[in-house]
A and B are shown apart, each in its own frame.
Chain A
Amino acid sequence: MADDWTARINTGVPNPARIYDYFLGGKDNFPADRDVADQVLDIAPVARDVVEDNRAFLRRVVDHLTREAGVRQFIDLGSGLPTQGNVHEIAQAIAPEARVVYVDNDAMVVTHSRALLAGDNTVAIEADLRKPDSILGHPEVRELIDFDQPIALLLMAILHFVPDQEDPLGVVARFRDHLPAGSYLAISHGTRDIPARPDMSPEAMTEMGARVEKLYQLTTATLTTRSRAQVERFFDGFELLEPGVVEIQRWRPDDRDPRLPGGFFGGVGRKP
């Protein structure tokens, strides 16, 4: 460990978590990240709006699950670098006893999460969501989370970093099988399929998605956009809440900054 200090964090290689941070206006990013991020913005200037919309979607989902569904336990898979409006802040503002586990496989993300998010009823662990058992059986998860009580599993803007050959459907199913009845699954996911919008044709959007996917090949994770039908399949074994899997901007919007739909599909399902 002492001999190779860059093995776990290499700021010279573009990293999706830091690119996302840059889109959100954060400062925990480096030239390699900004280089790819700026190229993405050149192709898709809406990327910045979409990641902001994704934060807003997360806020509405956690708010709904805490306030309306009464969920008190959250596991945020692929939680990313801490920013404003983190899950425990949203949930604990409504229910101070809410418990949150942040999971990420990126050492820098976990270091920041442990330093800035961890506290009462909140832990951050370093684990890979593609290995569900390493998370479900993790001692810190077992200590904080009661697997006999409803749990909300959050997969925000992360499954598109799991390519088909790594069996994302199997991964989600494995988590599902360990969740007690009354638990929830929330997903947001990058897509090329976009409804007609005044500023862009569907063809242009598809083309844009393809080029962005290609750029992410330069990073530590590849990007796989998926269709609505493909995203819906992740909810096998769940009952989708209204309005189903839709563009995130259309999922129970509130009055705050309504924007044109596109970029990500999202939905929330309940395990019966």
Chain B
Amino acid sequence: MTFLSDPISSIGNWLENFLIGLGLAPNFSALIVTAIGAFVLAAFGLMIVLLLIWFERKAVARMQDRLGPNRIGPYGIFQSVADTLKLLTKEYITPAGADKVVYNLAPLFAVMAVLGIWAVIPFAATVYGSDINVGALYIVAVGAIGVLAIIMAGWSSNNKYALLGAFRVVSQLLCYEVPLVITLLIPVMLAGSMGMNAIVMAQDTWFIFLAPLGFLIFLIASIAEVGRAPFDLLEADSEIVAGFNIEYSGMKFGMFFVAEFLHAFTIGAVVATLFLGGWRGPGAETYPILGTIYFFIKAFIVYFIVVWARGTFPRIRIDQMLNFSWKFLTPLALVLLIVMAVQLKLVEGSPTWVYVTSSFAVNVLIAFGTIHLLRSFARRERKRVSEERPLATAPESDFQQI
């Protein structure tokens, strides 16, 4: 029965005893078992990308009133396999003057940055990579390595357009990291701990009901952090000449591609853990397999919202993007954090329904206040633009000259 309630440890113990029985030292066999666990998690992440790419292509195609891939396999399900085979057989062309070590390391760092996030996400009560007590901050740290990979790719290509493209991407990513980290603090504040397991265990009511505005800001900032539509100015299909990965071909380009899609699903997983209650659901504490199923359903729902946003919104320009973050999202996130901190301190010790309704009410009030402010700004702007400008000549003087 311990297998059902704690599958990962029981498999790990069995493997360790097996290796010790083969004659290895206990430290060494523990190390090997840990390495096997990390390998399984990374392989799972990379394999699921095939499913994600197919899902996105079909969903976006249906939104655009076309069919999507439907030739290879039933409903086109093997299209990603065909694309992978094509990328594997392409030639690697390294530009002349490129810095070889950095050029080859950049796609690795990009994938590393995304796979590293999966180490702290809990799939069930006892199924997780590692439970560090600063899990939420670790996610931000590993995302910073992804930013580094982009600069490495842009600089080492020895191409000034790749370099400029990389700089624009990095300025977008750094600027949306600020509202991301500020709204990341809201579940941390509500749960009282930065560990991901602790945040999931504290969600008796899902945090999306306690902080819906925080959920929205976190989702928008995460979509911008990945670089997906509508924030995909820098690597969009019609603008690819100025992107940072133009000098990459074959599987190295495939690594950047995989990193982007896996990052989109990882956002789904992180948002599901922080705001939608993670693996919690009826019966999830006793049967971890149920917890994993609930977690994946929630992550897929958020991934579908991300794909939906891609298929719906037009691309926004870089100056609109930066203004949106610095002048709207960051002040809103700061105000939300401060007001929620004060409100949570005031209702400390009250029964749960007071706590839930006051948090929800605070969020709704801030949202309404923001919409009201935006409307009054827009009204003033419209009035300024539409007022009568003085004409060059007086209206009736022309007809009197004849």
- The answer to whether A and B belong to the same complex is no
